[in-house]
Chains A and B, each alone.
Chain A
């Protein structure tokens, strides 16, 4: 009997393991197909664009022999399909090619600009979650009251006010007039290149280096753009939280909980809120991914050398290696965030396990 039980448990474990392996394989296959598809689309767009990447490099004064030499060096004289497979092979080795415009490896450029965006987006998202979720819950619980109206206006302003305007106003008031925060750039010019780059995120690198002066300066520079991005994130998260909460608050189990005499706080946070966590994860992941994609306007106004402005500059200059490299990285982030959300679903929702 005991043996049969052990065998049953063993079979169960083995089945679980097989299922996990199958899921992992399926996920990896899905990532691979997505990434190859993304590479193909980006590559094709790069080749059919009505701009001449060779001209972007050599300029309009170049002689024909200079032009031809550059074209050959860029491999553009080869058949397109060959170019694609060469590109695919290189990407597999982590090589996105050289930036046509600044003569550096694209992978090195991305390692430099992506941490700047990651730092900004993460801080912005934290801001959005910490304020947006409670605001959304409060607005739902106090539906129709002045608190709900305030939350609505806050979100509306966040949705509708151009970030360009908000950025300039923020800079003018908090940097120009009040002098409370640092100006454009990641750190003051005197603090450039002082802490050794470890993660590329200045706040973390300064903390690791124990250089609190640089940390303080970097914080004074990031706080304004991060708050702005966080505000837009807050607007989205709070509206979605409110809507999810309203749906839960009118459900029968909430009425039952209240009839049972549970304290309101328990009803809200332990019953209703627990049930919106899965939906919230999706909303937050999407919001985070959008910020990681790089908020180009914010980066331009605040002279923030992030991936958004990197890709935009590359695109306008026909630097297709840089555009494709940046697009692949952003595509990968979306895929990874999706996987991370799936994992969180399983943590929050037993039915998804």
Chain B
């Protein structure tokens, strides 16, 4: 349905709008931000559990964190939020935060160091999906009371060994770092769940907004917090309506019934170029599109074959055709704007070189099977690869399945090749380095399904140790240099061909100012938006 829908939508809307023009647009109220978005991925509102895009959008606006990003200056990196300042111990293992005074939760309860310590401990003890972001520092349900403590106005966290401070603080900016109202949450505790059941559908934060209602697959309504410590948001109400179709989002925007359309197809974006009163807002996001080769495959594991495959990808052709405006060429595992990101792009479609490399490796008549989920752009990438691979004598069979089907096989190391996407989990280089280039035990028994290197049965050729060293490097510049070197080696040796980085294009009313979707490192911030 998707390709058809995009085609139909743009063809019909384009022709008809040009022919007839739209009637005068309606206006949404000046103090209300109305958004059309696909929000069917929200599974929970609990920051200790939430791990989806639309969920992060809600959480970022509802929960304050110890440290956070300023939406008006994302490139500055993390800065104080509910913690006014912090100090690092000499051994580099303990960070002590001093809480900001005079901040209250939506309930009216003051935000204290006890709330902060409780929130972090709770996230560790609940052990939900994103808990690895904290437990990677050695916090466990058993030691949480000793490693995360509070005293007076300060809260301290002690990691199991020395890590780069920037690594720890970057992780605290992610959704799981959200500080919850301990009194409110524990008042709703049931069966020792630390309020998890209640917090799945309710909120208890101190951020710019609270959730007035969440109807799954239908809408999320946020109301502003007039006592927000950075000042009451201009948008007193934010309504996010679930609108799955790009064409419907476009119509709503052009009719003036919404202020922001979050999921426009490339055709609709092009179609709106000349529409008055509407602008296209573009941001680079963290999602990467890549292919990977299974190290268990006797031929695909050969270094020259891996190189050859990287020369058999029509990066430019895809970027300039069906991915136009949606993805940009990026060949390294750290998305642009991350610490240590590089823009080296040594690979381009080069049939002669690829053929020569295959001949050197003694490969001919190769037939491989790639798993790809049924998303339009991924299938199109698969088809482009089929075409270019065939020119070098490689037969590529595409097995198109649902996301879950394909992922299950990938995690079981059963695919020859995988065509997929990866989004960083938290805004620190280790988030991607720790999965693309880190695999301490490559055996099947290790079952490290969360590591992309393990899924592709790649022992990392020594990069694991280098990644482990980078994550504890205290000097920011030295750390940056280490990631740059790791990526250059990765480009040469890895079974991954990173191809593209995501560009998000939103349609917004002209009057919308200070819109910030969070770039590659965080989620949208509604509290600075004006119109």
Contact = CB atoms under 8 A, between A and B. Distances in A.
A250 interface: no
B251 A171 contact: yes
A175 B256 CA distance: 12
Interface in B1-42: 1, 4-5, 8-9, 12-13, 16-17, 20, 22-23, 28-29, 34, 40, 42
A236 to B, nearest CB: 23
A300 interface: yes
A266 interface: no
Interface residues of B, number: 62
A164 B219 CA distance: 23
Contacts of A99: 216
Interface stretch (A78-86, A119-127, A188-196): A188-196
B259 to A, nearest CB: 10
Interface string A22-48: 000000000000000000000000000
Interface in B445-487: 447, 449-450
A100 to B, nearest CB: 8
Contact of B241 (A57, A65, A189): A189
B447 A64 contact: yes
B244 interface: yes
Given A176-B22, A177-B22, A188-B257, A305 B242 contact: yes
B135 interface: yes
Contacts of B216: 99, 101-102, 104, 109
A94 interface: no
Interface string A166-203: 00110111011111000111001110110000000000
A179 B255 contact: yes
Contacts of B438: none
A177 B241 CA distance: 22
B456 to A, nearest CB: 14
A99 B200 CA distance: 12
Q: How large is the interface on A (under 10, 10 to 19, 20 to 34, 35 or more residues)?
A: 35 or more
Contacts, number: 149
B402 A60 contact: no
Interface stretch (A272-280, A284-292, A308-316): A308-316
B493 interface: no
Nearest to B240: A189
A68 B242 CA distance: 32
B221 interface: yes
A344 interface: no
Contacts of A64: 447, 449
B416 interface: no
A6 interface: no
A69 B127 contact: yes
B251 A63 contact: no
Given A101-B43, A164-B1, A300-B244, A183 B252 contact: yes
A296 B391 CA distance: 41
Contact of A57 (B1, B43, B245, B411): B43
A297 interface: yes
Contacts of A176: 13, 16-17, 22, 251, 254-255
Nearest to A179: B23
B51 interface: yes
Nearest to A169: B12
Contact of B221 (A61, A101, A192): A192
Contacts of A350: none
Contacts of B255: 175-176, 179, 183
Interface string B243-279: 1110110011011011000000000000000000000
A169 B11 CA distance: 11
Contacts of B257: 183, 188-189
Given A57-B43, A177-B16, A63 B8 contact: no
Given A62-B132, A188-B257, A309 B217 contact: yes
B75 interface: no
A101 B214 CA distance: 14
B183 interface: no
Given A50-B405, A172-B16, A62 B251 contact: no
A251 B243 CA distance: 53
B326 to A, nearest CB: 21
Given A51-B405, A57-B43, A177-B23, A63 B135 contact: yes
B348 interface: no
A69 B34 CA distance: 38
Given A61-B450, A172-B13, A179-B255, A305 B218 contact: yes
Interface in B119-133: 127-132
Contact of A102 (B5, B42, B245): B42
A51 B215 contact: no
Contacts of B425: 61
B241 A303 contact: yes
A1 B218 CA distance: 72
A171 B215 CA distance: 24
B408 A192 contact: no
Given A176-B254, A305-B218, A51 B408 contact: yes
Interface string B119-157: 000000001111110010000000000000000000000
Given A61-B130, A63-B450, A303-B242, A193 B404 contact: no
B449 A60 contact: yes
B152 to A, nearest CB: 34
A183 B247 CA distance: 12
B131 A192 contact: no
B239 interface: yes
A172 B251 contact: yes
A168 B213 contact: no
Given A51-B405, A51-B408, A192-B221, A60 B450 contact: yes
B337 interface: no
Contacts of B368: none
Contacts of B450: 60-63
A189 B34 CA distance: 8
B213 A193 contact: yes
B407 interface: yes
Contact of A103 (B5, B43, B127, B251): B43
A148 to B, nearest CB: 32
Nearest to B214: A102
B16 A61 contact: no
A301 B405 CA distance: 26
Contact of B402 (A51, A183, A297, A305): A51
Interface string A89-109: 000000000010111100001
A139 B22 CA distance: 39
A16 interface: no
A262 B44 CA distance: 69
B443 to A, nearest CB: 14
A112 interface: yes
A303 B221 contact: no
Nearest to B29: A190
Contact of A183 (B13, B29, B219, B248): B248
A99 B252 CA distance: 30
Contacts of B12: 168-169, 172
Contacts of B248: 171, 183-184, 301-303
Given A51-B408, A172-B13, A66 B217 contact: no
- Closest 5 pairs (CB-CB, A-B): A51-B404, A102-B216, A103-B200, A305-B218, A184-B248
Interface of A: 50-52, 55-66, 69, 99, 101-104, 109, 112, 164-165, 168-169, 171-173, 175-179, 183-185, 188-190, 192-193, 297, 300-303, 305, 309-310, 313, 316-318
18 contacts: A55-B404, A55-B408, A55-B411, A58-B129, A59-B129, A61-B425, A63-B131, A69-B127, A102-B216, A172-B16, A175-B255, A176-B16, A176-B255, A179-B23, A192-B219, A301-B245, A301-B247, A318-B404
Given A65-B127, A300-B244, 5 more contacts: A66-B127, A172-B12, A183-B255, A189-B239, A303-B244
